Amino acid sequence: MTTSSVLITGASTGIGAVYADRFARRGHDLVLVARDKARLDALANRLRQQYGIAVDVLAADLTQTSDLVRVETRLRDDSRIATLINNAGIAQSGSFIEQTPVAIEQLIALNTTALTRLASAVAPRFVQTGKGSIVNISSVVGLAPEFGMSVYGATKAFVLFLSQGMSLELSPKGVYVQAVLPAGTYTEIWQRAGIDISTLSEMMQAGELVDAALVGFDRRELVTIPPLHNATRWDSLDATRQALLTDIRQAEAAERYKTA
């Protein structure tokens, strides 16, 4: 007997494929979503043979409305799916002024719109049953405008904020939401964005990233940052943010702005 099913986006390679392997190893059936059906089929066949689980392949381009709707429908209707891994995403190469309107639209469509809509599709069912998990893959780039990936970083900052807001709303209703923030990880996202990784510092392997993220998942961490070696840095940042909010008095401008 298997346990619940897990739907993973961007599952054909990299982080998504590792998540598929790890959840299959735990005995979960899978729904694998990505554009490349041939790769999905090859992965699905391997996982079926290796772990004896059921794997459904759902080829979809989540930047296309019709494909996105199909995945939303599966999440709403398939009561066996108890975990959503919102992993699909693309990166950005070049500066802000070098981005084309088409590239910006595609990046936002996949990294933010599709991710949000899929979470929104499954969350009501999870709330109704009082259980379920949503994992949103963000990035440390969302904390660092200094890295020069303005549009990509903004989408990942959105994912972190969304995850935190979802957690505040959904956690009391039995739904676990985790934001995972990788740093540089060896995946095909770099090649697809036209970024030469030979010029970058050494990065993390996808397997190590996912294994660490799953430790956070099992511990029910709200924000998991596998490459952050001093966890108190995040705790301090979040505490400072909350302290800042206590100093906001919305009815009156701060004294420093009352003198020209």
Residue 61 has pLDDT above 80, yes or no: yes
Fold type of domain 5-231: Rossmann fold (3.40.50)
Query: How high is the pLDDT of residue 227?
Result: 95
Average pLDDT, the chain: 93
Among the options 51, 152, 176, 257, which is catalytic? 152
Distance CA 84, CA 177 (A): 10
- The tens digit of pLDDT for each residue in 84-120 reads 999 999 887 778 999 999 999 999 999 999 999 999 9
Q: What average pLDDT does the segment 153-157 reach?
A: 96
Residue-wise DSSP of 78-131: -TTEEEEEE-------S-GGG--HHHHHHHHIIIIIIHHHHHHHHHHHHHHHT-
Q: CA 187, 191, 193 angle in degrees (round to 5)?
A: 110
Q: What average pLDDT does the segment 66-95 reach?
A: 94
Query: How high is the pLDDT of residue 188?
Result: 64
Distance CA 122, CA 163 (A): 14
Distance CA 117, CA 102 (A): 20
The number of beta carbons lying within 10 Å of the beta carbon of residue 176 is 18
Where do we find the tokens 């930047």?
63
CA 233, 235, 237, 243 torsion-angle sign: negative
Q: What average pLDDT does the segment 177-199 reach?
A: 75
Query: How high is the pLDDT of residue 186?
Result: 62
Query: How high is the pLDDT of residue 260?
Result: 85
Q: What average pLDDT does the segment 234-240 reach?
A: 97
Where do we find the tokens 């050494």?
202
Residue 18 has pLDDT above 60, yes or no: yes
pTM above 0.85, yes or no: yes
- The tens digit of pLDDT for each residue in 48-60 reads 999 999 999 999 9
Domain positions in the chain: 5-231
Where do we find the tokens 């809509």?
117
Query: How high is the pLDDT of residue 197?
Result: 66
Q: How far is CA 236 from CA 138, 159, 177, 207, in A?
A: 20, 20, 21, 28
Could you confirm whether 51 is annotated as catalytic? Answer: no
AA letter at 185:
T
- For 98, how many CA atoms within 13 A lie in the half-sphere containing its CB? 7
